[in-house]
Amino acid sequence: MKLLVCIKQVPDLESRFKPNAEGVWYNETDLAWRMNEYDEYAVEQAVQLREKLGEGTELTVLSIGPDRVVEAVKKALAMGADNAVHIQDPAAAGKDPWQIASIIAAYAKDKGFDIIFTGMQSQDRGSAQVGVTVAEQLGFSCTTTIVGFECDGGNITAKRELEGGIKSVVKMKTPALVTCQLGLNVPRYPTLPNIMKAKKKEITAIPVADLLKDEALATTASFHPPAKKGGGIVLEGDTGVLVDQLIAILKDKTAVLR
Amino acid sequence: MFLDLTEEQKLIQDTARDFAKAELEPVAAALDQGSDRAPLLANLKKLAELGFMGLNVRSEYGGSEAGVIPFSLAITEIARACASTAVTVSVTNMVAEVIQAVGSEEQRKAYIPKICSGEYAAGGFALTETCAGSDPAGMCAQATDDGDSWVLNGTKIFITSAPYAGVFVVWAVTDKAAPKGKGISCFLVEAGTPGLVIGKEEKKMGQHASATNELIFDSCRVPKSALMGKLNDGFRIAAGELAGGRIGIGSLGLGVGLAAMDYATKYVTERVQFGQKVSNFQAIQWMIADAYTELEAARLLLMNAAYRKQAGKTFAKEASMAKMYATEAGNQACYKAIQMLGGYGYTQDFPVERYARDARITAIYEGTNEIQRMIISREILRNFS
């Protein structure tokens, strides 16, 4: 079986974000980077399947971006992926989900992957479109936000989490793509010996120009922090009146008392 | 000159940081207060499984073969969460390294894999005695040749992890007539050996979760094969290996100092007095500037010492400089952090008093900072005479 897991490197979410000079994305200066959380679930699930299937299975990890994304790629290799593809693109952050998906699909289309794992969304852009768009472009079966995964031959059974905690079960045949959600598994820490061994695993570098043929379908017009609000409402006076005022505000402006 | 970490080093640092934040930090305060050591032992096992007990040990013995820089990075990250865990990891790594450096192939194969895998919760380094602290060559413990075995007698003190260490590196006098320091040998003694008694546990100011005990040798008989390195060459081994351990303790001091300042700095950006955040006051700003500058200098000294050791260069002076400076910077940072929190900093409702208690010993153990200054000045003066 051939498995592919697609990962994105994102800033640590505790970072302070500032718009870049063009005002369409964040400024990357001095940010600490790590693997997108949902992609860690994807890598863990792919590695678990890789371990279950054993010999004859190949797990490739793919990431698009500048040279710094190799660190995230190496983490996935240390977690258990066999080899990697780094699609070199210093301008990946400016591409829309359609273009990113097109790049992945262009790479994957003649490789014979049986299952592709992705995170359900990135923690920075959060479009949640790349996985499903890759599946659509490749003609793969697809289901999203999975919290359970089983694979028996060419049959996948995925458990999905819906709003309000409701679960659903989806069955589909390979080739298939799943997008992974919190709760699917607990990603392993890469062990230190595996981090050192990952150095020897192959990372194939492909310039993005070799794969990208599609124009963007959407462009980001503006990236900015929300406008600063005033200092809030200060209620003063008799306690009984205050309570009534507060309840009225909560009913009117929030969902707390509905 | 290249001052950045490699991708592998960054990944190891990230792994240590993520693990410390998720597994060590949540139990650190309770470990400091309580007597239940189970969470510490469970975390030591997990750290071993991840490869943190043999950071600079070759893979053929079960080590991670990651090098000295990752050792320093890992100890710092672990210490940011729990100094007791960090000292255990540091000493255990040192024990694995000393066996690798001077042990026979049989000794290496017998003990290092058990240390690296976590089969042994920890390793013990038994050098200090009541009469031999800063002056270990003055030790009294003896090993007597008794035909096919050695018989050890004497008492060691301040032995980290003694109740749960699987093996101890033990120094004892083997030639009483020899000049000072020339008649000491090094032995490997397994936990549970008859005559090896774990003595009383010290009640310490800090680092409570890490046990510190007496180790009593009461006619403790070990096989001839327990001798490690050459006969009567043990003191040189101790002196050499302590230099590597100092990188660990310096890294620990740095980690605790960073934890204290990170906590206090966040606090002063929230605490309001005189109608404004106290971070607006210059007195607080200078504490922040001074402490972080010193911690950054400490980090660079540690990286330099670690780099030199990893590159096979001499590093004793640099390790002593880094240990001395980093542990003093760490202590200063902790006391500044308490000051920044005011009265709250002195209470156990906030973690900085624990950091200060944990940091204090780093200026003392693995060679007091006064001994470090002796080593540094000796190395420098040698080039002037």
- Quick check: is B366 catalytic? yes
For range B6-21, the mean pLDDT:
97
Q: Which amino acid is at A105?
A: A
Torsion angle of C-alpha atoms A141, A145, A147, A151, degrees rounded to 10? 10
| End-to-end Cα distance, chain B | 31
What value does the mean pLDDT take over residues A44-57? 96
pLDDT at residue number A164: 85
| From B49, B65, B366, B370, the catalytic residue | B366
Question: Is the Cβ–Cβ distance between B315 and B305 less than 8 Å?
Answer: yes
A190 with B15: Cβ contact below 8 A: yes
Phi/psi of residue B101, nearest 5 degrees: -75, -40
B51 touching A (Cβ < 8 Å): yes
> Cα B236 to the chain's mean position, in Å?
19
Name B185's bridge partners.
Answer: B172
Nearest-CA neighbor of B306 among B356, B354, B245?
Answer: B245
- Mean of per-residue pLDDT scores for chain A: 94
Domain range summary for chain A, segments of one domain joined by +? 2-210
The model's confidence at residue A258, banded by pLDDT at 50, 70 and 90, is: low
- What superfamily does domain A2-210 belong to in CATH? HUPs (3.40.50.620)
Residue closest to B202 by CA, chosen among B128, B118, B137: B128
**High-pLDDT (> 90) share of chain A, %:** 83
Its pTM stands at 0.93
- Predicted ipTM of the assembly: 0.93
What distance in Å separates residue A169's CA from the closest CA in chain B?
31
Task: Please name each of the domains of chain B with its CATH number.
Answer: 7-120 (1.10.540.10), 125-232 (2.40.110.10), 243-382 (1.20.140.10)
- With contacts defined as CB-CB under 8 Å, which chain A residues touch B50? 189, 191-192
Mind listing the pLDDT tens digit for each residue in B286-308? 999 999 999 999 999 999 999 99
The per-residue pLDDT for B34 is 87
Our CA-based measurement puts residue A240 at a distance from the nearest CA of chain B, in whole angstroms, of 29
Q: Which of B7, B50, B65 sits opposite A74 (nearest CB)?
A: B7
List pLDDT tens digits, range B174-186.
999 999 999 999 9
Q: Which residue has the tokens 């540094």?
A: B376
Q: Looking at residues A182-197, what average pLDDT do you find?
A: 97
Percent pLDDT > 70 in chain B is 100
- The pLDDT value recorded for residue A163 is 85
Work out the minimum CA distance from B114 to partner chain A, whole angstroms.
Answer: 16
Give the helix ranges, DSSP H, for B65-211. Answer: 68-81, 83-102, 105-117
pLDDT > 90 in chain B, percent? 96
B61 at interface of A, judged by CB pairs closer than 8 A = no
Average pLDDT, chain B: 97
Residue A232 has pLDDT above 90, yes or no: no
